[in-house]
Chains A and B, each alone.
Chain A
Amino acid sequence: MKSKLAAAPYLIWMAVFTIVPLGLVFYYGLTDQDGNFSIDNLSRMGMYTNIFFRSIWLAVIATVVCLIIAYPLAFILSRMDTHKQGTMLLLVMLPMWMNFLLRTYAWMTLLETNGVINKILGFVGLGPFEMINTQGAIVLGMVYNYVPFMILPLYSVMTKIDNSVIEAAQDLGSNSRQVLMKVIIPLSKPGIMTGITMVFVPSVSTFIISRMLGGGSNMLIGDLIEQQILGTSYNLNLGASISIVLMIFIFMIMAVMNQFDDEEMEGMII
């Protein structure tokens, strides 16, 4: 029973450094410049519907792609020799230690019309393809940057799936598809949920990827918020309003996700 106390320092920490700042965001989002209550900023959101729509859409695609890529990879990693697993895991994370901006620059170099990939394809007689400044490039940037955050939680639950469980299912006459659907996926559900959260959320609020790989005309919510806070107009209130709406959207989507998590309803209210 006492182990509940272990969470106490964290709870205090979060109360001070998360709840209070969140309150500040709501305060700013619901007031005008002079600090009077106002919903003008919130009611302007209709104008940005397309941006919201596009951000969520691209983030959903990126999340799905990440899941498709990461799932087999995590499974393969979890079936490796134990001493190899740690190394492989670090190899997955290592690219993220190179600066984000540098990595995105490198992708620009690769994807440009005169870029490395098109040059290589040119030798084979293909292309050049229009790859940069498209929504596809934005999704690629999201997948590249956030796929490790899908791999990690998936791997971490899959190591717990004992080979004997799979063998037992096989002995009982399941084919490999059935093993996957009836054994592996249900057992790795917590990891899938965590992975989706950790990929979807940063994808939906990113701003540098869309600017550099999307050519600046595919504005996302992150760009919009950044423009309010670090743009010439310095409109903290509008920035806060947009983030409130964004948060509500994310909560909603996460709530839907949770409907698939039969084990225990943890994570989200609703």
Chain B
Amino acid sequence: MKIKKIISALSVLALAVTSLSTTAFADVEVDGGYDYDRFRGKNVTLQVYNWGEYISDGSDGSLDVIGEFEKLTGIDVEYSTFPSNEDMYSVLKSGRSQYDIIIPSDYMIGKLIEEDMLEKINFDNVPNFTKYCDKKFLNPEYDPTNEYSAPYTWGTVCILYDASRIDEEITSWASLWDEKYSGQILMFNNPRDAMAIALIRLGYSLNTTDEKELKEAADLLIEQKPLVQAYVMDEVYDKMGNSNAFIAPYYVGDSYWIMETNPDLAVCIPEEGTNLFADAMCIPKNPNLDSNNDEKRKEAQIKKEAAEMFINYMYETQVALENIEYICYSTPHTGAYALLDEEVRNDPFLYPSDEFITEKTEAYVNLPQETNRYMDQLWTEIKISGDQNKWAFPLMLVACVAISVFTIVRRFIKKRKDNM
């Protein structure tokens, strides 16, 4: 049913933009006044690195965002994908590949800035950013001076639940601890997101570095463990979509996606507040920009400008609109937002009110390494809690001894046999 709305919104858009300037080569409508043609024929290649399935790719009648960019500018895009922020970080950190555009999440951007792994974006080359980016997403906590990143999408964490089997209205994270739903609760299978929910319940900051608060949160999760059916990430699609569990926390955009297969599902943002996340486009450091070799430096500068052109392109209204409709997350682009279907625009979960965002949500920031390690250790404790078998270690020792004795005896016997 959403598809229909998207199509109708698209046709409105198509009418609206015909008056704007167009480029002869491409099917996508862009704002006038920006020279997308300046790198045509110069053999420029951009390496773009994004989450998997996180861009409109032309399937199912959507816009082929990358293909249209190539047509529009003559720049060749080499597109590759990563499964998680941490995977991407390990690729960048070890210097396995050079990328021109990456799209990580908030706290990871903070980490990359801290470790001096990003270039400053020259926003003069990205006029659409100033024109269209919603003011409330400027200068975010992870990039306080807004020099390194341009938001791509954002969203919140919500509770997804099966309204046909849960009679009450879910309004609180406490429902994830409700014994009524024992064995039907799903939980995040990564330490940061799971701990965040416990921290919110306790009224602490998501970004706390206080070990006592973190320990309390871990204890809360240990208390929850017997009720949890499974710790999941993407498995939630199958499990909630096929009614194999009652209730699960997940990202709003994906929850809407799941809801379309299973009409029994409902979404809520708990009253205690939630995590606000954002993914943003950044340009990784390119050592050639400081090269002594003139040619290399020039080439790197062209690449950087082309990357800025890419960001500008992603901020074109039609591109941003079609992309967000494909992804189903929330857009920071005011022009695209205005063209969305009214029902989507007024959706309290996809686009919560400004005061809710400022008062009730908190974004992740990059935590110090010690806190991350402490959290990981707590996470392991949570995972192994409840099945601590005090006999395990002694048994293992006994097994080791038995094995050694057996081996020695066996060898001894064999030797005697051979000698006989």
Verify whether A and B have any Cβ pair under 8 Å.
yes
Interface size on A, residues (CB 8 A): 40
- From A65-73, A83-91, A189-197, A252-260, give the one contacting chain B: A252-260
Question: At the interface, yes or no: A49 with Cβ under 8 Å from chain B?
Answer: yes
Question: At the interface, yes or no: A232 with Cβ under 8 Å from chain B?
Answer: yes
**Docked pose: A215 CA to B188 CA in angstroms:** 11
Q: CB-CB < 8 A to B239: which residues of A? A: 112
| Residue interface mask A231-260, B partner, CB < 8 A = 1 | 111110000000000000000100110010
Considering residues A48, A217, A255, which has the most beta carbons from chain B within 10 angstroms of its beta carbon? A217
* B-facing residues in A165-214 (Cβ within 8 Å): 211-212
* Contact of A49 with B396 in the complex, beta carbons under 8 Å: yes
- From B5-13, B67-75, B126-134, B228-236, give the one contacting chain A: B228-236
* Contact of B232 with A227 in the complex, beta carbons under 8 Å: no
| Residue interface mask A217-230, B partner, CB < 8 A = 1 | 10100011001111
* Contact of B86 with A234 in the complex, beta carbons under 8 Å: yes
**Docked pose: A233 CA to B380 CA in angstroms:** 12
Name the residue on A nearest B93 (C-beta): A234
* Contact of B231 with A49 in the complex, beta carbons under 8 Å: no
* Contact of A109 with B230 in the complex, beta carbons under 8 Å: no
Closest-CB distance, B277 to chain A (whole angstroms): 14
**Docked pose: A78 CA to B375 CA in angstroms:** 53
Question: At the interface, yes or no: A28 with Cβ under 8 Å from chain B?
Answer: no
Name the residue on B nearest A133 (C-beta): B230
Q: CB-CB < 8 A to B393: which residues of A? A: 46, 49, 53
Q: CB-CB < 8 A to A215: which residues of B? A: 229-232
* Contact of B380 with A50 in the complex, beta carbons under 8 Å: no
Closest-CB distance, A108 to chain B (whole angstroms): 6
* Contact of B189 with A219 in the complex, beta carbons under 8 Å: no
Number of A-B contacts (CB under 8 A): 104
Question: At the interface, yes or no: A51 with Cβ under 8 Å from chain B?
Answer: yes
Q: CB-CB < 8 A to A234: which residues of B? A: 86, 89-90, 369, 372
Question: At the interface, yes or no: A216 with Cβ under 8 Å from chain B?
Answer: yes
Name the residue on B nearest A256 (C-beta): B403
Considering residues B86, B230, B379, which has the most beta carbons from chain A within 10 angstroms of its beta carbon? B230
**Docked pose: A132 CA to B186 CA in angstroms:** 13
Name the residue on B nearest A235 (C-beta): B373
**Docked pose: A233 CA to B379 CA in angstroms:** 11
Q: CB-CB < 8 A to A219: which residues of B? A: 380, 383-384
Q: Name the one of A50, A109, A224, A259 contacting B388, with C-beta atoms under 8 angstroms.
A: A50
**Docked pose: A39 CA to B199 CA in angstroms:** 33
Considering residues B228, B384, B406, B410, which has the most beta carbons from chain A within 10 angstroms of its beta carbon? B384
Question: At the interface, yes or no: B242 with Cβ under 8 Å from chain A?
Answer: yes
* Contact of B388 with A232 in the complex, beta carbons under 8 Å: no
* Contact of B189 with A216 in the complex, beta carbons under 8 Å: yes
Besides the contacts A50-B388, A216-B230, A216-B232, what 9 more A-B pairs have beta carbons closer than 8 Å?
A46-B393, A53-B389, A215-B232, A217-B231, A223-B383, A233-B369, A234-B90, A252-B403, A259-B407
Q: Which residues on A are within 8 Å of B, measured CB to CB? A: 46-54, 105, 108-109, 112-115, 132-133, 211-212, 215-217, 219, 223-224, 227-235, 252, 255-256, 259, 270
9 contacts between A and B (CB under 8 A): A48-B384, A50-B389, A112-B244, A227-B380, A229-B90, A230-B87, A231-B191, A234-B89, A234-B369
- A-B complex: 8 closest residue pairs judged by Cβ atoms: A216-B231, A215-B230, A233-B376, A53-B392, A233-B372, A233-B373, A219-B383, A49-B393
